[in-house]
Structure 1
Amino acid sequence: MTARENDRTQHKETEEHFFKSNAVKMIHEMSKLSREIQEDSRSALIDEMLHSIFFLGKILKDFSPEDIIADKEMLENLNTYYPRPFRCYQTHFPRRSPFSCVLDMIVLHKNPENEEQIKQSLQRFARGLDPEYLVSSTICISQKSKTDQNSKRYYGVSMSTKGPNTGQIVIAASCLNNWHEYVSGAVMTYYPEMDKKNYFDGTIKVPKNIRCEAFDIRSGNKKDPCRSCHNLFGLNTEQIKEWDYGNCAEAESLSNLLKNEEEVKKKTNVNKYSAENRKKAEKEVHDNLMDVLKRNRDKNTQRKGFEKHLKIYNPESE
């Protein structure tokens, strides 16, 4: 083995170690938090997170659940209580990244109004993980009013998916089956490229008086919206950097706001487009998703069902 080949092997082994380590830590944290709260949705969040981890493990590293979770007793217990992620991780897409499930569990644990506690808990947990795998870098909080601090808070995190293929897959699935139609329409205006489509413009301008504020999870520092978020949602910024459209925490946070605050939805300016062109944009997202999966077939185990039918995973309790 040459020195270069040895370096590649060591790098691959290091990456695999950190993916598995982060995954197991996330499972432990979710299980611990679940025992401390009484919300009905807690089991669904663990179920959804497991499926997302298993799916990303297969896409990134060709891992099986057994490869990720070495503890046989832990593996058997999870399979007993949450059997569907083990059955469906090769036949269904996750609708969001696993760290979004962690965020939701922490919000349930701390209650949505306790913003600082939520940010601190997420920060403590994220600092114990390797930053490269399954971990978001940014949290965003949206409210219907900048001045009414008693208004309900809606949280979101950036995509915790390393690599262009996994990011494209989860953003596409979020567009097709998770985000509010205004947010998905805005993202589909660009996805999967950085250039705007010439036949469809679903970008929006959210009301000026709403709060949409992002923070670095590890440092706690405030982060201004990037140029992509300005282009998608009309958020004011002086930043010129464009990140992948749909990658930022603002998308998930604003989606949750729009799903729950009818007043904000009514005041949001939406570009007009035909139903036919929206369907065309959705088909382009779907077709790109299929292409990404086909490209992965050469290096990973063939994924039964993906090429013929798009299935989005929903937790068993939903």
Structure 2
Amino acid sequence: MEAKEITKETKEEKRLKFLKEYKNLFIVTYGALFCQMTHYAMQSKLDKNEIYTYLDEARHAILFLGQINKPIVEPEEMSFGKFQSGNPDAFRTHVPRTTPYSILLEMVVRAEGPHNSDAIKKTLEVFAESILKQNKKMYFYATVVSKSDFNDIDHKGNPKKATPEPYWGASLSCSGRKVSQIMLALNCLFNWHEKIAEAVTFAQNNTEKGGILEFPRIVTSEAYKHEDFTLIAHPPCSKCVQVFASCTFKPTVEIPKNATWEFGNCAENESISKLLDGHPYLKNFVKYCAQATGEQMPKLKTDPMQILKELKWSGELIQFISAR
């Protein structure tokens, strides 16, 4: 009996196989995310206009990311159920302000109420189990969510008794070096508070410098990481501590984990940005550290349009705004 010939996959065959699996993972993950968003929204107490806006933004962000994915994911390969966008082709001409997961998180926080931490985390855990059950790879899903708040202060900086609502954010939930660079730049341009955008940009261009933004100790940031579909309290990484000097992190850690990812990836950027947006006067108590004082904030490390052109995307650097 002749022995069967065993052939090894060539590098090209392995590459093509990976790209096929990667594309399928994009379709499955984002398809499930939009489906779960739709189902959750319809069961919530959100009004129809709010639901439409969240779903329209998520759809646009997914299709935009599909156009700059490698390989490209075309609109007809995605399913959005019965949802109809008022501007269905805007993903070819306009950029999103943030990622699909961050939009999902905004919807959940709005529906559950920002103070209802347990309900928010439980909802996100249910989403994670449903969306990632077929494949636990989190290429297109946020690994960490963060909650930021502070003990309110008056115009003189004295603490008040009432505690304001917390603000939530997610880590950058996209995959691929160029795609991540683009989404970081778009968040800086269109989504994050100017102080956060400036701090992230400064950090990217001055990686060796210590602290950047000095927060009053009353600002607290608490992070949770997905571990087998459960959100577990997670300490800050070295880059969070570097950017947000003197911010009170929970849980505390003496020596933060050395982060290898780019500045701007962490959930704390989004949650603290929303905190500053929600309380504009608070920024008066946030100062640049000595390392950054007097230095002009540099331009974005990444020119998103340059990379978008390399990826054959022919739109403009104009933010998509949902409209019926």
TM-score (norm 1): 0.82
Amino acid aligned to 2:190: N
Give the Å deviation of 1:211. Answer: 1.5
Distance 1:56 1:114, change over 3 A: same
TM alignment of 1:74-85, pairs within 5 A: 74=81, 77-78=82-83, 81-84=84-87
TM alignment of 1:11-30, pairs within 5 A: 11-30=18-37
Aligned to 2:155: none
Residue in structure 1 matching 2:244, options 221, 233, 240: 233
Give the Å deviation of 1:144. Answer: 1.3
TM-score (norm 2): 0.81
Amino acid aligned to 2:27: K
Distance 1:273 1:82, change over 3 A: farther
Aligned to 1:120: 122
Aligned to 1:299: none
Q: Which secondary structure does the structure 2 equivalent of 1:190 belong to?
A: helix
**1:187 partnered with 2:196:** no
Amino acid aligned to 1:305: G
Give the Å deviation of 1:202. Answer: 10
**CA–CA distance in structure 2, aligned partners of residues 150 and 232 of structure 1:** 24
Residue in structure 1 matching 2:308, options 290, 293, 302: 293
* Deviation larger for 171-180 or 102-111: 102-111
Aligned to 1:103: 105
TM alignment of 1:1-318, pairs within 5 A: 3-4=9-10, 5-36=12-43, 37-39=45-47, 40-60=49-69, 61-69=71-79, 74=81, 77-78=82-83, 81-84=84-87, 86-128=88-130, 129=132, 130=135, 131-145=137-151, 150-191=163-204, 195=207, 203-217=212-226, 218-234=229-245, 235=247, 238-242=255-259, 243-270=261-288, 271-273=292-294, 277-278=296-297, 281-282=298-299, 284-285=300-301, 288-296=303-311, 302-306=312-316, 310-316=317-323
Give the Å deviation of 1:113. Answer: 1.3
Aligned length: 291
The answer to whether the Cα contact below 8 Å between 2:97 and 2:186 also exists between their aligned partners in 1 is yes
The answer to whether the Cα contact below 8 Å between 1:202 and 1:272 also exists between their aligned partners in 2 is no
**Structure number, greater radius of gyration:** 2
Amino acid aligned to 1:312: Q
Deviation per residue, 1:214-243 (Å, 9 max, x gap): 110333222111111122111465214133
Over aligned residues, Cα RMSD in angstroms?
2.6
The answer to whether the Cα contact below 8 Å between 1:182 and 1:202 also exists between their aligned partners in 2 is no
Q: Which has the higher helix share?
A: 1
Q: Which secondary structure does the structure 2 equivalent of 1:156 belong to?
A: strand
Amino acid aligned to 1:183: I
**CA–CA distance in structure 2, aligned partners of residues 261 and 304 of structure 1:** 37
The answer to whether the Cα contact below 8 Å between 1:144 and 1:264 also exists between their aligned partners in 2 is no
Instruction: Give structure 1 stretches of 5+ with no counterpart.
Output: 297-301
